[in-house]
Structure 1
Amino acid sequence: MAERKSLADLGQAMGVASATGSASAAAAAPVKPKLDAQGRAYATGRRKDATSRVWVKRGKGKITINGKPIETYFARSVLRMLVQQPLVTVNRATEIDIDCTVSGGGLSGQAGAVRHGLARALTYFEPELRSALKKAGFLTRDPRMVERKKYGHPKARRSFQFSKR
């Protein structure tokens, strides 16, 4: 009986395709972009109680949120930076136009929802960007939510002041 040097040799002897062979076959077939009739990619993003719908298309880097430019809608520079992080990560800040609608939550949650939706839309628009966005953590939905208020308490964990007498 012949001696096997690796798992690939054993797989070939058993008639099973090796894992590296199937991975290279998957890499050979590129993932196609998911675009609509206007050449846009669409995705939904969520953060806290906010939900955003994001459309991405080729352009000059214009970002509109609920029909307003980003500078008007997100007046704080930190929120604008948060929204633009996926574009800066993949060096597409001046090549892609973004149109989105966002509702629910506060401004911080809305900025996070737009960032999540933008990252997902970019992966549909250009699938080769997925690894860079995934590594940066933009494709993961942040699950943290506000804790609910409990019965008999003024807030979620706050108790009424104790009185001895």
Structure 2
Amino acid sequence: MVTSYNHKVIYSGTGRRKTSIARVRLIPGSGKLIINGLPGESYLQFSPNYLRVSRSPLNILGLEEEYDIYVKAEGGGLTGQTDAIRLGLARALCNINPENRLTLKSEGLLRRDARIKERKKYGLRKARKAPQYSKR
């Protein structure tokens, strides 16, 4: 989605993973990452892997210093939120230029990871763990 605020164009995208939801907004700027009002490095606990994964769509397109990233992330843990940010960022980049879609799709960044926790079934201890079987 594309909106305008104070004569700046804002591109947005939503990403989901497990129970995490990330609403990503891209604003032309210097390349800073803000997650829930905190700098991205401190929110992601200075983990180089989380930072690399969350910025990967920009790195692939060579736009690292072109846009400021503002994220509202909720639910789940850091891994789920990081993957949700990656998907939301990729979707926002597709709104900027439809030609970006081909590159991001070939890298697999526009694919939603649909794996979620399986529900517990009655008669079982967990989703699949059954009570111990006793022959006698």
TM-score by length of 2: 0.89
SS of equivalent to 1:42: strand
> What is the distance in 1 between the residues matched to 2:82 and 2:23?
12
Does residue 1:93 correspond to 2:39, yes or no?
A: no
Give, as a single letter, the amino acid of the residue that structure 2 aligns with 1:34.
V
1:83 match: 54
Q: Identity across aligned pairs (percent)?
A: 44
Structure 1 residues 115-151: Cα deviation after superposition (integer angstroms, max 9, x where no partner): 1000001111233212111111111211111111111
> What is the distance in 1 between the residues matched to 2:97 and 2:38?
26
Count, aligned residues: 133
> What is the distance in 2 between the residues matched to 1:35 and 1:106?
29
Higher helix share: 1
Does residue 1:120 correspond to 2:91, yes or no?
A: yes
Structure 1 residues 30-51: Cα deviation after superposition (integer angstroms, max 9, x where no partner): xxx9342331101111111111
1:107 match: 78
Give the alignment of 1:40-51 within 5 angstroms.
40-51=10-21
1:59 match: 29
Higher strand share: 2
Structure 1 residues 38-94: Cα deviation after superposition (integer angstroms, max 9, x where no partner): 311011111111111110011111001101111111122222111011011101111
TM-score by length of 1: 0.75
> What is the distance in 1 between the residues matched to 2:4 and 2:99?
18
Unaligned runs of 5+ in 1: 1-32
- Highest Rg: 1 or 2? 1
Unaligned runs of 5+ in 2: none
1:36 match: 4
> What is the distance in 1 between the residues matched to 2:3 and 2:89?
14
Give the root-mean-square deviation of aligned CA atoms: 1.6
Q: Which runs of 4+ in 1 moved over 4 A?
A: none
Give, as a single letter, the amino acid of the residue that structure 1 aligns with 2:30.
K
Give, as a single letter, the amino acid of the residue that structure 1 aligns with 2:109.
F
SS of equivalent to 1:127: coil
> What is the distance in 1 between the residues matched to 2:135 and 2:42?
53
2:126 match: 155
With a CA cutoff of 8 Å and minimum separation of 6, indicate the structure with the bigger relative contact order. Answer: 2
SS of equivalent to 2:80: helix
> What is the distance in 1 between the residues matched to 2:130 and 2:41?
41
SS of equivalent to 1:55: strand
